[in-house]
Structure 1
Amino acid sequence: MLRFLDLIFSFFGLLFLWPVLIIVTILGYFDTGSPIFMQERVGRKQKPFTLIKFRTMGVNTASVATHLANSSSVTKLGSFLRKTKLDELPQLINVLKGEMSLVGPRPCLYNQEELISEREKRGVFDVRPGITGLAQVNEIDMSTPEKLAIWDEKMIHSLTLVNYFTYIIQTVTGKGSGDRVV
């Protein structure tokens, strides 16, 4: 049922929000010269997939977890996109492709070994990664790998239709601050 909702919401999200996607893409060209950010992430069953987002940091920023990146790397447009969570919109393509869900654990990088280990222990990789979830709306990010994996597991075991909609609504209305940047 949730996969069906993912497909419906991501399809109609892209259909109705394409003007926003175009505007942000154009603004992104002026901001960084390369508005789309693509990065290999750990997916369901630990299979790699390419995450698509709007770029919020300079093009030459190191490929590390957000909490390890320097705050001076975030552009002015990038700061706005992060606050409004508009940087996540292109991930609706990942949802349509079946690589992600709207709700699930945020996909990590392959170099986040501690987080991968903690998630393996808790079966977190048995589900599709998501755009948002319980940890995100509670401001728990990848800087605390064990805590994040525990909350991811908690979300997986308690995910209902009501929770699915709750996490989406909380994210859209601004609950949670996203990943910290140092």
Structure 2
Amino acid sequence: MADVIEKKRNKYVYVNDKKGYLFLKRVIDILGSIVGLILFLPISVLISIAIKIEDPKGKILFCQERVGINNKTFKMYKFRSMVSNAEELLKDISELNEMDGPVFKIKEDPRITKVGKFIRKTSLDEIPQFFNILKGDMTLVGPRPPLVCEVDNYGDYEMQRLTVKPGLTCYWQIGGRNSIDFKKWVELDLKYIEERNIFVDIKIIFKTFFVLFGDENAS
């Protein structure tokens, strides 16, 4: 059984990069992100005000370097959900990591603010990524964009996650999120890369609405 699993992990996935599919995917990305920005504009204003009230010194948006398609880096946007010096405090809590592999995640991260806890629980902190989608750095559906330090620890198998644009949602988002270990996370991403088409993308987008808001695995 172990030999079968290892053989699977050494397998190189097929990437659906047909021009027709990519064109339709981009159209859906543009329309979807515009609708998303308009739809969430009122709540985005409220979130911005709440973030500033709780921590006036910090910025409303959190900008972080992430790795996208073909190992190219870009600036990813989120509503700030942590204290303003969160990056500096990371080294002090690194031993609390609850995820295996080159990923840092803990459910009760002490750096998360009260507002941050709410917007993470409801995934509202991801709203600014619609701008990343409009810019073309991201897509609505695709593997979540990893940090540069995480990619530094990738092997050839994991690097296949970077053969497509990173996305706002994917199988990992609707399948358990933080309850899924890193190996399973990569398997789900590669499963999507092999299976992706317009119908799969639309199915994942619809499932995301029902799963993310109030998902007990979100943090």
Q: TM-score, normalised by structure 2?
A: 0.73
CA distance change for structure 1 residues 114 and 46 in 2, over 3 Å: closer, same or farther? closer
Which structure has more relative contact order (CA 8 Å, sep 6+)? It is 2
> Are 2:7 and 1:12 equivalent residues in the alignment?
no
Name the structure 2 match of 1:110.
148
Sequence identity, in percent?
Answer: 31
1:146 Cα offset (Å): 2.6
AA at the equivalent of 2:38: L
Q: Which has the larger radius of gyration?
A: 2
AA at the equivalent of 2:85: N
Tell me how far apart the structure 1 counterparts of residues 149 and 107 of structure 2 sit (CA, whole Å): 14
CA distance change for structure 1 residues 21 and 66 in 2, over 3 Å: closer, same or farther? farther
What do the CA deviations read for 1:46-101 (whole angstroms, capped 9, x no partner)? 10100000111111112765505862211111111011111000000000000000
CA distance change for structure 1 residues 170 and 43 in 2, over 3 Å: closer, same or farther? same
1:169 match: secondary structure: helix
Contact 2:51 2:115 in 1 (8 A): yes
Gaps of 5+ in 1: none
Tell me how far apart the structure 2 counterparts of residues 177 and 108 of structure 1 sit (CA, whole Å): 22
What do the CA deviations read for 1:105-132 (whole angstroms, capped 9, x no partner)? 0001011147633421xx2211110011
What do the CA deviations read for 1:157-176 (whole angstroms, capped 9, x no partner)? 11232221222222222355
Map 1:66-85 → 2, pairs under 5 A: 66-67=104-105, 71-85=109-123
Aligned length: 178
Gaps of 5+ in 2: 1-23, 91-102
CA distance change for structure 1 residues 152 and 142 in 2, over 3 Å: closer, same or farther? farther
1:32 Cα offset (Å): 2.6
> Are 2:81 and 1:56 equivalent residues in the alignment?
yes
- Point out the more displaced range, 126-135 or 161-170: 161-170
1:147 Cα offset (Å): 2.2
Q: Which runs of 4+ in 1 moved over 6 A?
A: none
Name the structure 2 match of 1:137.
174
